[in-house]
Amino acid sequence: MFSNFDFQVIIDALPYLFLQGMVFTLKLTILAAIFGTLFGTVLALMRLSGVWPLPQIAGAYVNFVRSLPLLLVIFWFFFLVPFIAQKMVGSPRPIPIDPFLTALITFSLFEAVFFSEIMRAGIQSLPKGQVAAGYALGLSYTQVMRRIVLPQAFRNMLPVLLTQTIVLFQDTSLVYVLSLNDFLGIAGKIGQRDGRLTEMYIFAALVYFLISFAASQAVRRLQAHTAIIR
């Protein structure tokens, strides 16, 4: 298997792999993590809200999305949204949507479910006395959440949020099935072009492992230096 392993094909592909493929992957990961965290925080607040029907709506969304395979959600958005947009605007033909935007929306909406559960746990981990103290000082619900609850919840849950972001980084490789130019997609295209799929997929796996392992170690160190607020 490795007797004819060609390192030169990997070396020649490095600029294309990292300057385009890895840039695409990291851009998608960072933006999806940001939007997913923001939407996830909204979902978490909705689930903890006492205002009907906000908890029911957020809970139904979380349970529904969490029961679906991510790959299926990606296909739904990529193939069905253009037809849905066509019906909504009355266009004679499906409206094409930018593939990167499609992937970003898909990952943001999907990962928001997991980020919401993390944020909900972070909010519930805070002593209720802090919330009561905020109300006693005359703060509104929004002010209590913005100034007291959410800053501490984000701090306490930061290592877990970053760990989920590492999982998101790995999951972005699924856009390969849409022929997007992410890191794995470019590795596959170069491997097929040069007849060196073994070399390219082994190298891609090694890069994903090294980045994920290094990020995991960084999160572990951060967790060791982050005091949990009680």
| Rounded Cα–Cα distance for residues 100 and 134 (Å) | 42
Unique residue bearing structure tokens 């002593």? 127
> What confidence tens digit (pLDDT) does each residue in 8-44 have?
999 999 999 999 999 999 999 999 999 999 999 999 9
Count CB atoms within 10 A of the CB of residue 105: 16
> What confidence tens digit (pLDDT) does each residue in 50-81 have?
889 999 999 999 999 999 999 999 988 888 88
C-alpha gyration radius of the chain: 21
| Rounded Cα–Cα distance for residues 155 and 151 (Å) | 6
Domain boundaries, the chain: 7-225
| Rounded Cα–Cα distance for residues 100 and 88 (Å) | 22
pTM metric for this prediction: 0.91
Architecture of 7-225 per CATH? Orthogonal Bundle (1.10)
